[in-house]
Amino acid sequence: MTHSRMSERRTTFLGALLTTLGPISMAIYTPAMPELVRAFGTTDAAIKLSLSMFFAGFALAQLLVGPLADALGRKRATLIFLTIYLAGSLLATLAPSVEFILAARLVQGIGASVGVVVGRAIVRDLYTGPDAARILNTIGIFLAVGPAMGPTLGGLTLAAFGWHAVFLLMVAFGLMAMGFTVFLLRETIVPDLGRLRPAQLLTNYLEVAGHPRFLAASLVLSGTIGALYAQSTMLPFVLINEVGLTPTQFGMGMLMQSGAYLTGSLTLKIVSRRLSGSWAARIGITLCGTGAVIMALSVALVPPFFLSIMGPVAICTFGLAFLSPHVVTTSMAPFPHIAGSASALTGFLQMSAGFAGGVAAAAIGNPLNAFGIIIPAMELSAVAGFLWLRHLEKRA
């Protein structure tokens, strides 16, 4: 069996569709979190745990998805895990108690993990260098639009039909992803079941984890993208309970975050012919660091209102759009032969950072204080990782 080369347009579309599976599953869900507290007569901590369960399933399963995608092929692995995602979504729709919600979100996270792994892997299979960065930037535009609509659509659906319908939206998204995978995704590698041997798995992951440029790039991505995941466990409670937004207003307000990412991605697309990937990344990390400092100071010194919370978030997210294409390309470049495993480990580290941030927020207790401490710390760790990456690139 030989792999088939897909066009840049098809690769971009499928990469975007699969990569958005996890983020949109979180975005649609977040407006319903306070309502689920009331519906099941439970605590904020229990519903926050449901998001952490999604993070845990998403992060850990990627370590299995990557090797499976290398061994079984991209298409077969994608269909297997999309089936798991659909099962979790249906379980959540019919959940009679908060315990079922927790279990369903774990299953959903396991299934959704295939998206980011295969989405990046098919780009690395077929394209490298500036071509890969260009595709990843375009995927970033779709990644902004999809999750941007998620909180708004989730909030409106919640207001009109109740929380069950929010999970039915995820069922619909999973079915759409499965349909496009069946009809559009061509296999991009030659499957090799030998890659599932335990010794080979360990060798592959050690090769990836032992590469300094991969580690530096992963620290950058874990600090910035991980911060997005971590703050999603805090923002619903900060904006709804502290600022006083309704769930629908919260969904509309989150457009500021996704709009900043979309604006950053579109701006990068316009200037990319005159601005190298390296320089774009420098601008991006500078914005992430600046936003982190403003965020920490605003929480410490100013009573919370919408712009004091979401303004710094928008600065960081705009910076991430400039930063991520170059850094993702850099992290994947040394591993054309095990792109699935490299993509899996990258995603695992990002989601683990988000999960750890959520756990730390729960330990702090007050969502506003947690937001002002944890998210700036994660963004500044990304700045440190970028300085390390620049040092390695200069030395090379």
The per-residue pLDDT for range 197-212, each reduced to its tens digit, is 888 888 888 888 889 9
Q: Which two tokens stand for residue 378?
A: 């994660």
Mean pLDDT along residues 258-268: 87
What confidence score (pLDDT) does residue 102 get?
A: 92
pLDDT confidence of 257, banded at 50, 70, 90?
A: confident
- Give 350's pLDDT tier (boundaries 50, 70, 90): confident
The single-letter DSSP state of residue 197 is S
How far, in Å, CA of 263 to CA of 376, rounded? 22
Residues whose CB is less than 8 angstroms from the CB of residue 17 and which lie 6 or more positions away in sequence, other chains included: 119, 142, 176, 177, 180
Backbone angles phi, psi at 4, to 5 degrees: -110, 140
120 or 83, greater pLDDT: 83
Amino acid in the structure at residue 226 = G
Mean pLDDT of all residues in the chain?
87
b/e for 243-273, b at 16 or more Cβ within 10 A?
bebebbbbbbbbebbbbbbbbbbbbbbeebe
Lowest mean pLDDT among 66-75, 307-316, 344-353: 344-353
pLDDT at 305: 93
- Chain Cα centroid distance, residue 190: 27
Q: What digits encode the pLDDT tens for the residues 115-165?
A: 888 988 898 888 877 788 788 878 877 766 666 677 777 878 888 888 888
Residue with tokens 């701006």: 267
Start-to-end CA span in the chain (Å): 37
User: Residue 223: its pLDDT value, please?
Assistant: 93
Please, are residues 332 and 339 in contact by the beta-carbon 8 Å criterion? yes
- pLDDT for the residue numbered 147: 63
> What are the C-alpha distances in Å from 230 to residues 23, 63, 338, 371?
12, 20, 29, 9
Residue 106, pLDDT score: 95
CA 291, 293, 294, 295 dihedral sign is: positive
In the prediction, which pLDDT does 1 show?
42
Q: Is 70 helix (H, G, I), strand (E, B) or coil?
A: helix
CA distance 315 to 309: 11
Q: How confident is the model at residue 2 (pLDDT cuts 50, 70, 90)?
A: very low
Model confidence pLDDT, tens digit, residues 283-305: 999 999 999 999 999 999 999 99
CA distances (Å), origin 309, targets 240, 264, 365, 378: 12, 19, 18, 16
Cα atoms in the Cβ-side hemisphere of radius 13 Å centred on 351: 28
Rounded Cα gap, residues 378 and 360, in angstroms: 12
Task: Please tell me which residue, 395 or 142, carries the higher pLDDT value.
Answer: 395
Domains in the chain, ordered, with CATH?
A: 8-395 (1.20.1250.20)
Using CA atoms, how far apart are residues 186 and 1, in angstroms rounded to an integer? Answer: 12
